[in-house]
């Protein structure tokens, strides 16, 4: 009994062990399924149930009441088990444990309790080993099945993922297509809106263009009307000026005739036949008439041009003067007739007295001739003073000597090296002069230093090349000549169009002149040749001189037998005179202030005096005087004081009328400006500073 009891305990332990293994396998499968999300719950196969049932049945048969056993059945079980052994690698579907498992377990437990505990231990151990092997086979089989299902589930999941990815891709494509469609629709709508707005804008623009054209037509009409009105006004003004000038000339002629008539009524005049007749009343009235006419002319000159009423008043005064002369002659005639009726006895005595008087009169022509010669001396000159002409000729000779001194450089067509030196020296001399401007004082000082260094023999940079006058023995003479020539050309070109540029050019030239007098002398020679009025000098035409050559001597430019226009000629002369007037009053601020100016205000005063001693030229003299006084008048006023104002009065009272006498009606522009300038200055007793003068603050820039 004890052996059977031991066998039963062993079987019970085996059953519990197998049940624990099954539950462990089931739990492992559940955990694996839970982890993978794709494994089904563990199911026991029918084979495993059959093994347990057969084991219990065999044990029951072997244990009989008599305690005998059936060896055939005990040997059949292993064969069956070995026959039904599952080959490795095969798959058998397993189903989950059925609901009848608890009842079967209870029945087996009940039957096992009835078994006799006296089972042989050797038989039990062999069966336990078989069952253990079956269980392990089952576990391996179930594990393989679970792995296969897991793989299948993974493939299904991958297929589902791919399907979802494909579906998502298709949806994304549909979404992109829809978005592209919406964008295209929006673009079309925007394009339609833009086309619509563009059409509206074009329509508006066309309307604006049409309005602009309409307004332009109106403006053109108004401008044309304004231009026509201006032309009419200019024509009326021209006619008014011509009429005024004609009336003014009429007034002057009337005044001249009045003066001539008034000379016939000298209070000291005694008729040779009527010495006792007193003509003082006629003389007083004649003087009154002349004074009235002179005051009238002075008043009309200040206002502008005389009116017809003024001319009528002067004509009435002339008629009155003629009537006065006629009355005087009638009185003299009556007295003569009365004289004839006198006693003939005194005839001889009177004849003697007359003879004496005739002798006295015969001695009077000599004083008359002397007074005529004195008038001629005190009148205006035609030629310049001899001393000035000698100075002019000395400067021209100096310029010719300078040209002869650089003859080798001047005629260097065959020598390439000398030609290159000539070109570089000419650029080094002329380019800095072209850079002179009134931008800043520092820039002007740089230009001065370049020119001064070149003339001093120092090397200078020109267009990337080093140039020096020491490169050729005749280099300094060549540079002096070209530099002076460039200054004159700058005056007749730049200054004639921009009057303010005369002062920076003049101050640089003044500084160079002070350090290098040779340049100043050659500059004056060039200036006098280009503008003889800067001497002043009116060249006379000599025998054998052609008209073209004479025009060049007067300062005109002649090209291909064509003389330049008068306006261009006057502009050039104006530029050179303005440059000359600026030079004589300016000094280089960084030079030696203790020394005298190389060509100062005394030369300007001499020029003005000599100019007023010469007969005026139409259109030229008025322009030169105006330009000179505008630029240099303030400096001359400060230097010469009352003498300068006497000169201004002389210009107003004596010289301007002489200019008017030789000026035609179409050349009165410069004369009118000169007259207005002189009148304003005399009225204000001040000469204004010239426009563009360099102030001390300029040199700090």
Q: How many CA atoms lie within 13 A of 557 on its CB side?
A: 13
Backbone angles phi, psi at 562, to 5 degrees: -115, 125
- 227-285 pLDDT, tens digit each: 888 888 888 888 888 887 788 778 878 877 777 777 676 544 445 455 556 666 777 77
Rounded to 5°, the CA angle 606-611-616 comes to 175
Look at residue 75 and tell me whether its pLDDT is greater than 60: no
Distance CA 575, CA 594 (A): 30
What value does the mean pLDDT of the chain take?
Answer: 76
Look at residue 420 and tell me whether its pLDDT is greater than 50: yes
Q: Are 274 and 329 in contact (CB under 8 A)?
A: no
- What is the SS3 assignment for 382? coil
Closest by Cα among 627, 604, 625 to 614: 625
Distance CA 257, CA 380 (A): 23
Average pLDDT over residues 402-414: 79
Look at residue 74 and tell me whether its pLDDT is greater than 50: no
Q: Are 431 and 460 in contact (CB under 8 A)?
A: no
Q: How many CA atoms lie within 13 A of 14 on its CB side?
A: 23
Q: Which are the contacts of 301, defined by CB distance < 8 A and separation ≥ 6?
A: 248
Look at residue 369 and tell me whether its pLDDT is greater than 50: no
50-75: buried (b, 16+ CB within 10 Å) or exposed (e) per residue?
ebbeebbebbeebbeeeeebeeeebe
Backbone angles phi, psi at 112, to 5 degrees: -65, -30
Instruction: Look at residue 247 in the predicted model and tell me its pLDDT.
Output: 80
Look at residue 142 and tell me whether its pLDDT is greater than 70: yes
Backbone angles phi, psi at 381, to 5 degrees: -95, 160
DSSP 300-365: HHHHSS--HHHHHHHHHHHHHHHHHHHHHHHHHHHHHHHHHTS-GGGHHHHHHHHHHHHHHHHTSH
Report the 10 Å Cβ neighbour count for 635: 22
* More confident call, 544 vs 116: 544
pLDDT band at 596 (very low <50, low <70, confident <90, very high): confident
Please tell me what DSSP assigns to residue 665: G
Instruction: Look at residue 465 in the predicted model and tell me its pLDDT.
Output: 84
Packing angle of the helix pair 642-650, 601-612 (nearest 10 deg):
30
Distance CA 517, CA 511 (A): 10
Average pLDDT over residues 292-310: 76
Provide the whole-model pTM. 0.48
Average pLDDT over residues 109-123: 53
Look at residue 166 and tell me whether its pLDDT is greater than 50: yes
Distance CA 112, CA 292 (A): 178
Per DSSP, what are the bridge partners of residue 562?
559
Average pLDDT over residues 638-667: 87
Burial of 427 (0-12, 13-18, 19+ CB in 10 A): middle
Instruction: Look at residue 348 in the predicted model and tell me its pLDDT.
Output: 63
Rounded to 5°, the CA angle 74-78-84 comes to 140
Burial of 165 (0-12, 13-18, 19+ CB in 10 A): exposed
């Amino acid at each position: 009994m004890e052996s059977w009891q031991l066998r039963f305990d062993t079987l019970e332990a085996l059953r519990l062990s197998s049940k624990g293994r099954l539950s462990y396998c089931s739990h492992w499968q559940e955990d694996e399924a839970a982890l993978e999300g794709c494994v089904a719950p563990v199911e026991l196969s029918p084979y495993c149930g059959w093994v347990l049932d057969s084991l219990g049945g065999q044990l029951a048969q072997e244990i009989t009441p008599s305690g005998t056993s059936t060896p055939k059945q005990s040997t059949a079980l292993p064969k069956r088990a070995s026959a039904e052994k599952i080959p490795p690698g095969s798959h058998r579907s397993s189903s989950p444990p059925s609901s009848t498992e608890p009842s079967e377990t209870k029945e087996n437990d009940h039957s096992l309790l009835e078994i006799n505990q006296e089972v042989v231990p050797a038989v039990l151990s062999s069966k336990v080993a078989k069952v253990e092997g079956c269980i392990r086979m089952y576990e391996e089989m179930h594990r393989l099945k679970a792995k296969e299902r897991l793989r299948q589930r993974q493939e299904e999941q991958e297929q589902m993922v791919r399907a979802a990815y494909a579906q998502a891709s298709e949806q994304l494509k549909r979404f992109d297509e829809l978005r592209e469609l919406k964008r295209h629709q929006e673009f079309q709508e925007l394009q339609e809106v833009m086309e619509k707005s563009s059409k509206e804008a074009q329509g508006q623009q066309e309307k604006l263009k049409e309005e602009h054209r309409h307004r332009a037509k109106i403006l053109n009409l108004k401008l044309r009307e304004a231009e026509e009105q201006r032309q009419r006004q200019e024509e009326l003004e021209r006619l008014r000026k011509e009429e005024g000038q004609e009336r003014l000339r009429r007034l002057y002629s009337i005044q001249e005739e009045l003066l001539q008539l008034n000379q016939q009524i000298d209070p000291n005049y005694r008729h040779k036949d009527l010495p006792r007749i007193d003509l003082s009343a006629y003389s007083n009235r004649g003087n009154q008439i002349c004074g009235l006419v002179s005051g009238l002319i002075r008043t009309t000159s200040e206002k502008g041009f005389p009116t017809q009423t003024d001319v009528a008043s002067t004509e009435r005064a002339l008629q009155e003067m003629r009537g006065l002369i006629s009355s005087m002659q009638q009185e003299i005639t009556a007295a003569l007739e009365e004289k004839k009726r006198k006693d003939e006895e005194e005839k001889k005595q009177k004849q003697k007295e007359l003879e004496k008087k005739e002798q006295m009169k015969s001695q009077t022509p000599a004083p008359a001739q002397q007074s005529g010669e004195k008038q001629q001396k005190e009148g205006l000159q035609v030629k310049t003073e001899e001393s000035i002409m000698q100075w002019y000729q000395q400067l021209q000779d100096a310029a010719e000597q300078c040209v002869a001194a650089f003859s080798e450089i001047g005629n260097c067509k065959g020598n390439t090296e000398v030609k290159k030196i000539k070109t570089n020296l000419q650029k080094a001399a002329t380019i800095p002069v072209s850079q002179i401007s009134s931008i800043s004082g520092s820039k002007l000082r740089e230009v001065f230093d370049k020119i001064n260094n070149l003339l001093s023999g120092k090397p200078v940079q020109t267009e990337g090349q080093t140039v020096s006058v020491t490169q050729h023995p005749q280099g300094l003479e060549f540079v002096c000549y070209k530099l002076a020539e460039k200054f004159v050309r700058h005056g007749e070109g730049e200054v004639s169009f921009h009057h303010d540029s005369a002062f920076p050019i003049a101050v640089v030239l003044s500084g160079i002149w002070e350090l290098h007098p040779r340049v100043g002398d050659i500059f004056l020679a060039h200036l006098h040749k280009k503008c003889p009025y800067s001497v002043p000098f009116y060249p006379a035409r000599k025998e054998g001189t052609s008209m073209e050559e004479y025009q060049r001597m007067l300062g005109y430019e002649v090209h291909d037998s064509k003389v330049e226009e008068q306006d261009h000629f006057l502009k050039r002369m104006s530029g050179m005179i303005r440059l000359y007037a600026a030079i004589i009053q300016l000094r280089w601020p960084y030079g030696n202030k203790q020394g005298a100016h190389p060509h100062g205000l005394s030369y300007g005063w001499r020029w003005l005096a000599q100019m007023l001693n010469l007969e005026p030229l139409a259109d030229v003299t008025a322009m030169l005087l105006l330009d000179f006084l505008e630029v240099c008048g303030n400096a001359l006023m400060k230097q010469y004081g009352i003498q300068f104002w006497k000169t201004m009065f002389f210009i107003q009272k004596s010289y301007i009328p002489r200019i008017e006498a030789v000026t035609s009606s179409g050349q009165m522009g410069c004369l009118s400006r000169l007259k207005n300038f002189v009148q304003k200055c005399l009225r204000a007793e001040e000469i204004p500073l010239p426009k563009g003068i360099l102030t001390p603050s300029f040199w700090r820039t």
